Structure formats: structure tokens, C-alpha cells
Structure 1
Amino acid sequence: MGTASQRVRGRLYSLAAAFTSSAMWAASDGRRFGQAQRYLDRAVALADMSADPAVRFRVWGHAGAMFRQLGRPVDALAAQEVARTTTTARRDPMYASLAHSRAAVAHAALGDQVATRRALGFAEAALDRADAAAQRPPWMHFYDRAEHEGLAMLAFLRLGMYAEAEARAHRSLALRKPELVRNRALTQADLAHSQLGQNELDAAVASAKVVPIEMWRGRTARLLADFGTRLERVAPLSTAARQWADHTSGNNLTGAA
């Protein structure tokens, strides 16, 4: 890149940072956390060299998700704060809303109900101000009110507020874009967890069974395997537990996770 103009070099660094950030996301989702951390270090360096605040937002947003999966909510919160203070998030409320929604999940993991609700309120207010039709990179197209509701659901799940988590899950599913099949499957699995937390065994199993068999992989499979474990622990002799066992064994899903 020695002979390229500064603008071209910045664009190339931006593309490299974006690809590396996607690799970090994939590694984190596959629980290859050592590899994900190495990708993070490289993505941060590339994003800084790009001088592109949008890609910097993306990198730190992915970093927050990785830290969340690692059980490091303080680091997840710090990563979302970096994302929230980028020029992109300050100028476009859609980005600010996403950062606040993700921060709410981190606050919830720390058990801070007040901060969780405050962050969700900021996210909703920013989303109301955002121009949904504005031009944004393709990687931001996933975020909308459905995704915000899904993140709110995750926050309330972590707080153990299962009724509110269930309400948010239903809202998210009602608003989900049809093409976001994996996001829908994840929300459906979390809905089952929220219902199980309220001891609504039949409803929980019915919700979990809605997840298509072909989506039983990665994080979705882990959520459903954990659901089965929780169900067996709280109600081992119930009809619901037997129905779930029949569903998983009949579809060869017992070891899916």
C-alpha cells in the first residue's frame, strides 16, 4: 500500500478490519476464544489505522459480544462504551441505540437492574430518533426494533425477570424480518428459557420445538441443550420433560450441542 493515496489506504484498512472483526465474531460464536482474542487485537489495530469510526464501532461491538460470552461483563460494558463514543454513534442514533441495547445486557449480567432499564430507555429513545431509511453499511441491516427487543429479552433473562423477558421475546418474534432465520431461532430458544423460568413447562417445550431442526447448531444448539438440562433438573418426571426427550431423540438431536 506504499504508493496508494491516504484515502485508498484508509479504505483498505477499513475492509481488513471489517473482515477480521467478522472472523472474531465467528470464532467467538464457535467458542474458540483464544483465536477470537487474537482476531480482536488485529481488528482493533486495523480499525485505528483506517480512521473509520463506523468500522471501529463494529469491531468494539463484536468485542463486547465476545466478552459477554466469556463471562466478562465489565469488559463487555467497556467495549460498548468505546463503540457508543465513536463519531458514528454520536451522529447516527441507530448506532447509539445498538450500543445502548448491548450495554443493557452487560449491566444485567452484573445484576444492575436500574442501569439495565436506563440503558434500554436510552436505546429506545435513540431508535425513535433514527432514520430507518438512511444509508448504512450492510452489516448494520440486522439492527432494528426486533433486534432491540431481542437484546432487551436477553437482559431480562440475565436478571431472572422471566415474565418481562417472555414479553420482549414475543415482541421481537412478531417484528423479526423473515430472512433472519438464525436470529429468530435464537430468540425462540431464549423464549423457551423464559417460560421455563416461570415454570410454564408445556409452553416452554412448545416454544423450543418450534426451532427448526436444521438450526440446531452453534449457539442455538447450546441454548437448547441447556434448556433440556434445566427441564430435566426442575421437572424430571413431567410430561413436558418426556415430550422434549422424545423430540430430541426422535430427531437425533441428543448430542447436537
Structure 2
Amino acid sequence: MQRRDFSLGTAAIAASAAIGNSSSAAGASRRVGMSDVARVRQRFDEIIASDHRHGGQLGIEKASGRLADEALALQGAGSASQRVRAALYGAAAAFRSSAMWAAIDGRRFAAAEENLRKAAEVASMAGDQAIQFRIWSHAGTMYRHMGRPGEADAANAVARRLGIVRRDPVFSSLGLARHGAIHAMTGDRNAARRAFRQAEEAWHRSKRSDDAGRPTWLVAFYDEAEINSLAMCAYLSLGMWADAESHGHRCLASLREHMHRSRAIATARLARAQLEQGELEAAVATAMMVPEDSAAHHPRVIGMLAGFNARLSTIAPDSPRTAMWQDHAQEIKEKRR
């Protein structure tokens, strides 16, 4: 774990230096322009790629926070147009929202809440509804993971009230899908099903247009696989095991190759859905397909597999499949040390 954080931290130092160099150059010329913004945004693309590969790591959280500060520092590097200043505030908010997401994914909720506060403050100066949506939609997810459905509903509602949701069906679809997962927390099956149906309808409407103009963070992860992932999560919490399994298979079948973290999470959830239906052999085989790197280092995956282990030991304590799984889990645990 420490090696992982160190390597990510090293990448962050290099990225921070790149922005710092552009800041120095801007200071010398006393003019900050869109070329400086472009360099900042390139670093954001690198953060997004790291998140999809590793997810939840403290190194990603810290790197994103440092880069947010570097983007804000460019505000004082020289004169700039209002357009450039708004873009820099937007970039800082984007980095801070990535720090927030890494903290959520890593179960560091106090840090996530602090990053939410900072991200919302900077985003208000950017006037960028796309990043405001990301921040408040992430906040809804954060409160859902914290077991606070009322606050999750309120935060996601902030995101869904933004004008960009009415203009772009992709944003509408994501807001609806995340709302479906929140409905499941309260046990409302009908509302959850309705939200996911509407999310799919909005997604299909979005296919009439291309992704031009949509932000990198959205295009990089949101598609039918993510809708099915959220539906699987919702139906697991509702105890609708067969529905969860169906959405799990659909999610894994359509996940894009770069979504390493998402594949590990979906595989762990699918194993749980199979186990709860008494499909012992399939469940253990699926759980053993979770990549070792994620099983050993990703906090959410570790928690999911611990839950799987506990249920397996309760349902079939004397099964050879249980013994096989526990041997495998012990090997993974030793790699975590």
C-alpha cells in the first residue's frame, strides 16, 4: 500500500512541477492564458486515468489536492481574462472533486467531506455547471456510502436541478441512476426500478448525439455498464438477488477495458448476488476472479470480499468451496502486508 501511494505521489510531484513551471512562465510574462489552462487540464486527464486503474488510493487524493492548489496559484501568476480565470477555478474544482472521490472510494469520509467543502466553494467561482454536477452527484454517493439517505437524496437533488441536466441526457441519466441507488437505501423498490428505467431511456436519447463538448470525466466512465453497476448495487441492498445478478452480468459484459477498478467492484458484487441465491460453486469461482491487486489494496473491494467471506462461512461453513475460498483469501491477505 505504501509503495502504491509513493508511486502515485511521485507522479503527482511531476505533474505539480509541470503546472508550477507554467505558473513561473506566466509570472514572467505577466499574462496567464488558455495554454496554461490546457496544461492544467492535461494533468486532470492523468488523474482520471489513475483513478480508473487504482481507485481509492490516498496518493490519488493527495495528488488531486496538490494540483487543485497549483491551479489556484496560477490565478496570482499574472494578468488573465475572465474566461481564463473561470477556467482555472473550474480546473481547481475538478481536481478537488477527484480528491473527494478518491477519499470516498477509499472510505476516508472525513477527508471526503472536507474536499466537498473546498470543491463547492471553488466551483461557485467557476460558473461551470458540469463540475458542479460532478461535485454534488459525488456528494450524494458519499452520503449513500455513509448510510445517510436523507442527505444523499438532498445532495443528488442539487445536482439534478442544474440546467445542464435538462440540456444533456447523459447528465440526466447519471443523476437518475444514482438516485435509483439512493431509493434502494430506503427500501423503495418501485422508485428504484422507475429511476433505472428512466436512466436507461435518457441514456438511449443521448446516443442521438456525439460526446463533443462533454467533460472527460463523464465520457471516461459513464455508459450502460455504469447504469447496470448502480442497478446491481441497488438490487443487492434491496435483497433482489436475481435482479442484481442479471445486472451484474450485463455490467461486466459491457465494461470498457480501462475500467479496472469498476470491474473488480462489479465482480465482487456479482459473487455476492450468486451466493445469496445458493449458487455456491459459481459464487466462489466469481469471487476468485476479482483481480488480486484490487482484492489486496482497494478499500471498497476489501470490504466487499470480507462481507462475502462472512456470508459464505455462515451459509456453508463445512463446504470444500468455503475452504477453497478461505485459502485464496488468506493468500490475498498476506499480499496486503
TM over 0.5: yes
Match of 2:315 in 1: 234
Distance in 2, matches of 1:146 and 1:35, equals 28
Task: Using structure 1 for the length normalisation, give the TM-score.
Answer: 0.95
8 Å contact 2:292–2:332 — kept in the other structure?
A: no
In the alignment, which of 140, 143, 146 is matched to residue 225 of structure 2? 146
Map 1:35-114 → 2, pairs under 5 A:
35-114=111-190
Q: What is the aligned residue count?
A: 256
In the alignment, which of 298, 305, 309 is matched to residue 224 of structure 1? 305
8 Å contact 1:221–1:256 — kept in the other structure?
A: no
Q: Computing the radius of gyration over CA atoms, which structure comes out larger, 1 or 2?
A: 2
In the alignment, which of 156, 160, 163 is matched to residue 242 of structure 2? 163
More helix by share: 2
Distance in 2, matches of 1:34 and 1:179, equals 29
Distance in 2, matches of 1:100 and 1:213, equals 33
In the alignment, which of 61, 86, 99 is matched to residue 23 of structure 1? 99
Residue by residue over 1:88-119, the C-alpha shift from the partner in whole angstroms, topping out at 9 and shown as x without a partner, is 21111011101100000000011011110111
Task: Using structure 2 for the length normalisation, give the TM-score.
Answer: 0.73
8 Å contact 1:188–1:208 — kept in the other structure?
A: yes
Match of 1:121 in 2: 197
Alignment partner of 2:86: what SS? helix
| Residue segments in structure 2 that go unaligned for 5+ positions in a row | 1-74
Residue by residue over 1:187-235, the C-alpha shift from the partner in whole angstroms, topping out at 9 and shown as x without a partner, is 0000001111112111111110011111212211221121111111222
The RMSD of aligned alpha carbons is 1.6
CA shift for structure 1 position 133: 2.7
Matched, 1:174 2:253: yes
* Structure 1 runs, 4 residues or longer, greater than 4 Å off: 254-257
Distance in 2, matches of 1:195 and 1:85, equals 37
Matched, 1:134 2:211: yes
CA shift for structure 1 position 171: 0.5
CA shift for structure 1 position 18: 0.7
8 Å contact 1:17–1:43 — kept in the other structure?
A: yes
Match of 1:11 in 2: 87
Structure number with higher relative contact order (C-alpha < 8 Å, ≥ 6 residues apart): 2
Q: Percent identity?
A: 47
8 Å contact 2:225–2:255 — kept in the other structure?
A: yes
Distance in 1, matches of 2:142 and 2:126, equals 22
CA shift for structure 1 position 6: 2.1
Which residue identity does 1:232 align to in structure 2?
A: S
Match of 1:253 in 2: 333
In the alignment, which of 184, 188, 205 is matched to residue 267 of structure 2? 188
Which residue identity does 1:235 align to in structure 2?
A: A
Distance in 1, matches of 2:332 and 2:200, equals 41
CA shift for structure 1 position 183: 0.6
In the alignment, which of 196, 205, 208 is matched to residue 287 of structure 2? 208
| Residue segments in structure 1 that go unaligned for 5+ positions in a row | none
Alignment partner of 1:111: what SS? coil
CA shift for structure 1 position 255: 8.4
Alignment partner of 2:152: what SS? helix
CA shift for structure 1 position 4: 2.9
Distance in 2, matches of 1:106 and 1:254, equals 35
8 Å contact 1:225–1:256 — kept in the other structure?
A: no
